[in-house]
Structure 1
Amino acid sequence: MRLPTRAATGAVATGLATVLLATTASAAPAPGDPGLGDPYYPGAGNGGYDVAHYDIRLTYQPDTDRLAGTTTILATTTQELSSFNLDFGLKVDSVRVNNQPAQFAKDPDDFTELVVTPRKPLAKNQFVTVVVTYADVPSKITIDGYQAWKKTPTGALGVDQPTIAEWWYPSNDHPTDKATFDISVEVPDDVSALSNGTLVRKTKQRKDWTRWNWRSTEPMATYLAFIAVGDYEVLQSETPSGQPFVTAYDPLLGPSLPAAKASIERSPEVVEFLEGYFGPYPFEAQGGIATTGLGFALENQTRSVYDAAFFRSGTNMSVVVHENAHQWFGDSVALGAWSDIWLNEGFATYAEFLWSEYAGEGTADELAQYIYELYPADDEFWQVLPGDPGPENQFHAAVYDRGALAAHALRKAVGDEAFFAILRTWLEKKEDGHGTIPEFVKLAERISGQQLDEVFDTWLFTEGKPAESPNGTPATARAAAAAQPESYPEIRFTHEQLAAGE
Structure 2
Amino acid sequence: MPLILIAMLVLVTAASAQHPVEGKSAYHDAFFLDPHLREAVMPMHPPALVSTAFPHKELQERIDVISYDIKLDWYYALTTPSVLRGQRKATGHVHARIRSMVNGLDTLVLDAIALTVDSVFVGGERVPFSGSVTVLRIPLPVAVAADDTIDVDVHYAIRTSDRAFYAFSQEDANQLSLPHPIAFTFNEPEDARRWLPCHDVPSDKALFTVDVRVPAGLTVVSNGTPQRTLSDGDTASWQSWHHPLPMPTYLFAVNASDYVSYDQVYRRMFGGEVPIYNYHWGMDDNGVFFNARNALRNIPRMFEAFEDKYGEYPFPTYGHVTVAPIQFGGMEHQSMSTINRRWLMGDVETGYAHELAHQWFGDMVTCETWGDIWLNEGGASFSEAVWLGFSEGPEGYRRLLADRRNVYMRNGLAEPPVYDIPMATLFNEATTYCKSGWVYHMMRRMVGDNAFFPAIRIYLQRHRLSTAQTADLLETMQGRIPSAVVPWETFFDQWLVKAGHPVFVADAVQNWLADGQYVTIVTVAQTQQADNVPNPFIVPLTIRLYGQGQTKDTTVLMSTSNFQVDIASAFVIDSVQLDPDDDLLCEKTVNTVSSVEGDDAVATATLRLTGSHPVEHGMPAQFVVEGAAVTLQVVDAMGRQVFAHDAVPGIVTVPTSTMVPGLYVARLVSSKSEPVSTVTFIVR
TM-score category, normalised to shorter length: 0.7 to 0.9
Secondary structure (helix, strand or coil) at the match of 2:71 reads strand
Mapped to 2, the partners of 1:299 and 1:63 lie a distance apart of 28
The answer for the alignment partner of 1:440 in structure 2 is 473
Aligned to 2:323: 291
Is 1:162 the counterpart of 2:197? The answer is no
Larger radius of gyration: 2
2:279 maps to which residue?
248
Which residue is equivalent to 1:188? 215
| Structure 2 Cα separation of the partners of residues 363 and 238 of structure 1 | 25
The superposition leaves residues 166-200 of structure 1 with CA deviations (integer Å, 9 ceiling, x where unpaired) of 13222111111101111111111122211100112
Give the secondary structure class of the aligned counterpart of 1:91.
strand
Whether the aligned pair in 1 keeps the contact of 2:79 and 2:215 (CA below 8 Å) is no
1:96 aligns with 2:110: no
What is the aligned counterpart of 2:160 among 138, 144, 164? Answer: 138
Distance 1:321 1:122, change over 3 A: same
Q: Normalising to structure 2: TM-score of the pair? A: 0.58
Aligned residue for 2:290, secondary structure, equals: helix
Once the two structures are overlaid, the 10-residue window that deviates more, 195-204 or 320-329, is 195-204
| Partners of 2:266 and 2:69 in 1: CA distance | 27
| Corresponding residue for residue 325 of structure 1 | 357
Distance between the aligned counterparts of 1:46 and 1:214, measured in 2?
Answer: 32
Match of 1:342 among 360, 374, 389: 374
Aligned to 2:634: none
The aligned residue for residue 525 of structure 2 is none
Does 2:502 correspond to 1:471? no
1:261-410 alignment, distance < 5 Å: 261-296=293-328, 297-312=330-345, 314-360=346-392, 362-369=395-402, 371-372=404-405, 376=409, 379-380=411-412, 383-398=415-430, 399-410=432-443
Shift of the 463–186 alpha-carbon distance from structure 1 to 2, 3 Å rule, reads: same
The letter for the 2-side match of 1:419 is F
1:393, 1:135 → 2: CA distance?
31
Q: Number of aligned pairs?
A: 422
| Whole-angstrom CA distance in 2 between matches of 1:205 and 1:336 | 41
Letter in 2 for 1:74: R
Which has the larger helix fraction?
A: 1
CA deviation digits over 1:85-104, x for unaligned, max 9? 11123111111111111211
Deviation at 1:216, TM superposition (A): 0.6
How far does residue 370 in structure 1 lie from its aligned partner after superposition? 5.1
**2:388 corresponds to which letter in structure 1?**
S
* SS of residue matched to 1:322: helix
Secondary structure in 2 matching 1:120:
strand
Task: Say whether 1:420 aligns with 2:453.
Answer: yes
Shift of 1:420: 0.4
Question: How high is the sequence identity, in percent, across the aligned residues?
Answer: 27
**Once the 2 structures are TM-superposed, how far is the Cα of residue 460 of structure 1 from its aligned partner?**
2.1
- 1:196 and 1:301 in contact (8 A); partners too: yes
Matched, 1:67 2:90: yes
Q: Cα deviations across residues 114-150 of structure 1 (Å, max 9, x unaligned)?
A: 001122332332221101111234327xxxxxx3322
1:458 aligned to 2:499?
no
Whole-Å separation in 2 of the counterparts to 1:208 and 1:239: 37
Partner of 1:78: 101
- 8 Å CA contact retained: 2:215, 2:235: yes
Go from structure 1 to structure 2 and tell me whether the alpha carbon gap of 1:247 and 1:103 turns closer, same or farther (over 3 Å shift). same
SS at match of 1:302: coil
Conserved 8 A contact 1:55-1:72 = yes
1:151 matched to 2:148? The reply is no
Deviation track 1:457-493 (CA, whole Å, cap 9, x = no partner) reads: 3332332332366515963569xxxxxxxxxxxxxxx
Give the distance between the partners of 2:429 and 2:283, measured in 1 at CA: 28
AA matched with 2:302: V
Would the aligned equivalents of 1:46 and 1:85 in 2 still touch at CA under 8 Å? Answer: no
Distance in 2, matches of 1:237 and 1:199, equals 16
Instruction: Report the CA distance shift for 1:370/1:230 in structure 2 as closer, same or farther (over 3 A).
Output: closer
Instruction: Determine if contact 1:47/1:84 at 8 Å carries over to the other structure.
Output: no
Provide the C-alpha distance between the structure 2 equivalents of 1:266 and 1:199, rounded to a whole number of angstroms.
25
Native 8 Å contact 1:372 1:475 kept in 2:
no
Report the Cα offset of residue 51 of structure 1.
Answer: 1.0
CA displacement, residues 310-339 of structure 1 (integer Å, 9 cap, x when unaligned):
344x33221111001101111111111101
Give the structure with the larger strand fraction. 2
Distance across 1 between alignment mates of 2:408 and 2:148:
54
1:271-316 CA-partner distances (Å, limit 9, x unpaired): 232111111111121100122112211000001011123344x332
Cα distance, 1:160–1:267 mapped onto 2, change above 3 Å = farther
- Matched residues in 2 for 1:60 and 1:128: separation? 28
Q: Is the 8 A contact 2:129 2:137 kept in 1?
A: yes
Amino acid at match of 2:112: F
Contact 1:158–1:167 (8 Å) recurs in 2: no
Aligned partners of 1:268 and 1:286 also within 8 Å? no
Q: Under a length normalisation based on structure 1, what TM-score does the superposition of the two structures give?
A: 0.78
Deviation digits for residues 73-93 of structure 1 (CA, Å, limit 9, x no counterpart) = 012112222111111231111
Query: CA 1:75–1:102 in 2, change beyond 3 Å: closer, same or farther?
Result: same
Give SS of 2:331's match.
coil
RMSD: 2.5
CA contact (8 A) 2:97 2:151 kept: yes
- Give 1:123's match in structure 2, choosing from 137, 140, 145: 145
Instruction: State how far apart, in whole Å, the 1-side matches of 2:586 and 2:60 are.
Output: 48
Report the alpha carbon displacement of residue 248 of structure 1 after superposing the two structures with TM: 0.9
Q: Which residue of 1 aligns with 2:255?
A: 228
1:412/1:214 CA distance change after superposition, 3 Å: same
Contact between 2:222 and 2:254, CA under 8 Å: does it hold in 1?
Answer: yes
Give the Å deviation of 1:357: 0.8
| Letter matched to residue 246 of structure 1 | Y
- Answer whether contact 1:249 1:257 (CA < 8 A) is retained: no
Is the Cα contact below 8 Å between 1:236 and 1:247 reproduced in 2?
yes
Distance, in Å, in 2 between the alignment partners of 1:477 and 1:232 is 54
For the pair 1:114 / 2:131, whether they are aligned, the reply is no
In 1: Cα distance, 2:229 partner to 2:413 partner: 48
Q: Residues 178 and 220 of structure 1 are in contact (CA less than 8 Å); yes or no, is this contact kept in structure 2? A: yes
CA deviation map 1:436-474 (0-9, x unaligned): 112211211211113223332333233233236651596
Q: Which residue of 1 aligns with 2:70?
A: 56
**Does the residue aligned with 1:171 lie in a helix, a strand or coil?**
coil
Unaligned runs of 5+ residues in structure 2 are 1-58, 174-180, 505-578, 591-684
Aligned counterparts of 2:191 and 2:296: Cα–Cα separation in 1: 24
Give the stretch that moved more between structures: 194-203 or 60-69.
Answer: 60-69
CA distance in 2, matches of 1:360, 1:321: 14
Runs of 4+, deviation exceeding 6 Å: none
**Would the aligned equivalents of 1:288 and 1:305 in 2 still touch at CA under 8 Å?**
yes
